[in-house]
Amino acid sequence: MIVDVHCHLYFPQFDEDREEAIKRAEANGLVAIVNAGTDHESNVKVLELSEKYKIVRATLGLYPTTALKLSEEELDKEIEFIKSNKDKVVGIGEIGLDFKLTTEPKQQQRQIEVFKKIITSLKDLNKTFVIHSRKAEKECVEILEELEVKKVNFHCFSGSFKLAKRIEANNWTMSIPANIDKSQHFQGIVEQTSINNILTETDAPFLSPAGETRCEPSFIKQTLNKIAEIKQMDVKEVTNNIYLNYQKLFS
């Protein structure tokens, strides 16, 4: 019962073998692949793929820097699009803040405004928010606390261990990417965080554990092995725990 709670199957890196990659995931024991949208075009593709493949689930979102390019009218229109498809999705995301790609204070403030608007507009849907928080981890945590959001998954969380403990204290989750073997940070997150607050993701086609090789959902098995090693747990026990975490948030 393996799950990949965050990837991007619609990216062109999958154009030549998308169906084969999904079949490889199934052959490796995956029962769910959560495909995350980042703009209107990808949100539409995410919905199409979730209808075509039983294993694929949909989350609809707006990448922080993409949202900056939208007018207020366009933003409202996308929020309404997400609302209109609420019964077809398992979450909202990815959304959040990215202060690495946007360093200008005025644009960072606009990102915060958009982030808050998306949350307040969609909070009543009772869906899990999938959070992108690069170089703005503290700001994301504070906003989610301020708005009293209950169901949250921090995708590929790169913030401090102190903030990670705060995420755990809020009973939110963090999803660990497939490149954990190469990342002392993610190994540390796993070591100090309860198994009840951990999920697995690939962010495919990115963050491959194998150098320049494209990442894909089937690589989750390697992540589970590493988590089991760090936690000194049986791989099956880790897999079952993470599947239960997935069920609580995404089903």
Rounded to an integer, the average pLDDT of 12-32 is 98
At residue 192, does pLDDT exceed 90? Answer: yes
Please tell me the predicted confidence (pLDDT) of residue 197. Answer: 98
pLDDT in tens, 131-159: 999 999 999 999 999 999 999 999 999 99
Identify whether the C-beta of residue 137 lies closer than 8 Å to the C-beta of residue 185: no
At residue 210, does pLDDT exceed 90? Answer: no
For residue 251, name the pLDDT band (cuts at 50, 70, 90): confident
Rounded to an integer, the average pLDDT of 5-28 is 98
pLDDT in tens, 157-191: 999 999 999 999 999 999 999 999 999 999 999 99
At residue 212, does pLDDT exceed 90? Answer: no
pLDDT in tens, 47-93: 999 999 999 999 999 999 999 999 999 999 999 999 999 999 999 99
Count up the domains in the chain and report the number.
1
CATH number at 64 reads 3.20.20.140
For residue 35, name the pLDDT band (cuts at 50, 70, 90): very high
Nearest to 121 by CA among 72, 68, 155: 72
At residue 118, does pLDDT exceed 90? Answer: yes
- The pLDDT > 90 percentage for the chain reads 98
Write out the residue range of the structural domain in which residue 98 sits. Answer: 2-250
Global pTM reads 0.97
At residue 217, does pLDDT exceed 90? Answer: yes
Q: CB count, 10 Å around CB of 172?
A: 24
Q: Indicate the average pLDDT of the chain.
A: 97
Mapping DSSP onto H, E and C, the string for the chain reads: CEEEEEECCCCHHHCCCHHHHHHHHHHCCEEEEEEECCCHHHHHHHHHHHHHCCCEEEEECCCHHHHHCCCHHHHHHHHHHHHHCHHHCCEEEEEECCCCCCCCHHHHHHHHHHHHHHHHHHHHHCCEEEEECCCCHHHHHHHHHHCCCCCEEEECCCCCHHHHHHHHHCCCEEEECHHHHHCHHHHHHHHHCCHHHEEECCCCCCCCCCCCCCCCHHHHHHHHHHHHHHHCCCHHHHHHHHHHHHHHHHC
